[in-house]
Amino acid sequence: MAGEQDLLSTEIVNRGIESSGPDAGSMTFSVRVRRRLPDFVHSVNMKYVKLGYHYLINHGIILATIPVVVLVFGGGLSKEEMWRRIWDSTAGAGYDLASIFACLAIFVLTISLYLMSRPRSIYLLDFACYKPSDDVKVTKDEFIELARKSGKFDEASLEFQRRILQTSGIGDETYVPKSIGSPENTATMKEGRAEASAVIFGALDELFEKSGVRPKDVGVLVLNCSLFNPTPSLSAMVINHYKMRGNILSFNLGGMGCSAGIIAVDLARDMLLPNPSNYAVVVSTEMVGYNWYPGKDRSMLIPNCYFRMGCSAVLLSNRRRDYLRAKYKLEHIVRTHKGADDRSFRSIYQEEDSERFKGIKVSKELVEIGGDAIKTNITTLGPLVLPLSEQLLFFSALVWKFLFGNGASSQSAKPYIPDYRLAFEHFCVHAASKTVLDELQRNLKLSDENLEASRATLHRFGNTSSSSIWYELAYLEAKERVKRGDRVWQMAFGSGFKCNSVVWKSMRRVRRPARNPWLDCVDRYPQREF
């Protein structure tokens, strides 16, 4: 039993056989959450390693010019010796002049083709994170009292939510709509639109004010909100509110979970590439009140405890003249989708419970499934970002395991986990829960400082879904830790099951912004309870 407790954070509770409803005759149970993710490198799939190198080669055409450079410039000869060999026709070891000019022509042609085929750089000019007003701020105890006041939960359900909150890593200054304390139905279009207007327009107003860009200048708009998708769409609501231009390319992403913010950035990039000298705005959010679950199924009560109000708005540009004022440059996006697997597909699933209440059902295998998706994603990302020394050590470990996989020496040898701290200065990992962050730190051998932004965001703002990685970057900026040339890794994961990564390179030292959601509390972090 003691060994089992080391693996489980919540014990499986058998509730017997369902006697009625759509699940009649099936076994029902409460959620079990593993304390430990699977070790990432114990079972690395080589096809994802090869996929990473495939991306690297596709983006490294210039490497083909290296042999030409070596040939032309003499492989270590002094400048005087090289020119003597070129022009001194009496030297037996001299170079043929026609060959030299042919090599130079190939070199110039290769460089020209590379520069012409190279896509325009995508710059992040600025971003904003919405900070709700204090009248919707709640402590953990106030959250439970709001749930009690609504009259929708029995004492067992309230006590379950209280226990989840105590170990969640969430603090006493998060934000929820006051409507969740109402005995009435909160999952209405009116409540959803009211919350959407507050968070989306709040973030966009700040973004346009900080950047100086007018709404009419924006050529691409991508908005992602997983669970609230009215008609007209939320992206149409934004266009109507700001009176944006009629030929704007607008997209509304729904049902894509907590990792949708990176998918939205990827889509905005794809739209900017064929449309030069343009701006793109990416809005990421989730509606809390609209998705409030009023039932008793414990696997559906978990999202109530974690998700909080939040929204981010990001301004991207592919205009070359924005190079001087950009904060970051987009380097890589790697997306991983495990939806072909049935377990992964149903790990986070929206459905009705036995009382016909709609909610998000969280699988007892979620952490294990998420760990597999994360492992796949970072294995693909590794060849793009890791220094050569780490790649050689990692690849050598894989070859050793392949050659001696069944031997005794292989059983005793620990797998080599690449040190991602050599590739990135800053980490913004989706603030899903304290357990997930702890296990990611253990698996990737990260320091407390590496995950400080994620833990601080979870504590101060809760799980704000797809916008959480931007609250984390805002934390790093408020601490003035981002310097010129630093690389930032944002990683998010969610329903589908998906795990996505985006890598940014800082274009300049980022000073503490005048508008930032952390300004009134950043000096209190990090806290001991992390």
Question: Residue 95 and residue 335: Cα distance in Å, rounded?
Answer: 49
- Structure tokens given for 407: 């031997």
CA 410 vs CA 41, 48, 400, 445: distances in Å = 13, 22, 8, 21
In degrees, rounded to 5, the angle at the alpha carbon of residue 337 between the alpha carbons of residues 334 and 341 is 155
Strands (E), 66-212: 123-129, 137-138, 174-175
- In sequence order, what DSSP letters do the residues of 44-97 get, joined into one string? --HHHHHHHHHHHHHT-GGGGGHHHHHHHTTTS--HHHHHHHHH-TT-TTPPPH
Question: Residue 446 and residue 451: Cα distance in Å, rounded?
Answer: 7
Q: How many CB atoms lie within 10 A of CB 365?
A: 17
Residue 109 has φ and ψ, to the nearest 5°, of: -65, -45
- Structure tokens given for 102: 């042919």
Among 338, 328, 411, residue whose Cα is nearest residue 369: 338
Residue 228 has φ and ψ, to the nearest 5°, of: -120, 110
Q: Assign 104 to helix, strand or coil.
A: helix
DSSP assigned state of 22: T
Question: Which residues are annotated as catalytic?
Answer: 258, 337, 426, 430, 459, 463
Among 389, 470, 393, 394, residue whose Cα is nearest residue 426: 470
Who contacts 151 (Cβ-Cβ below 8 Å, separation ≥6)? 183
Question: Residue 481 and residue 425: Cα distance in Å, rounded?
Answer: 9
Does residue 194 contact residue 178 with C-beta atoms inside 8 Å?
no
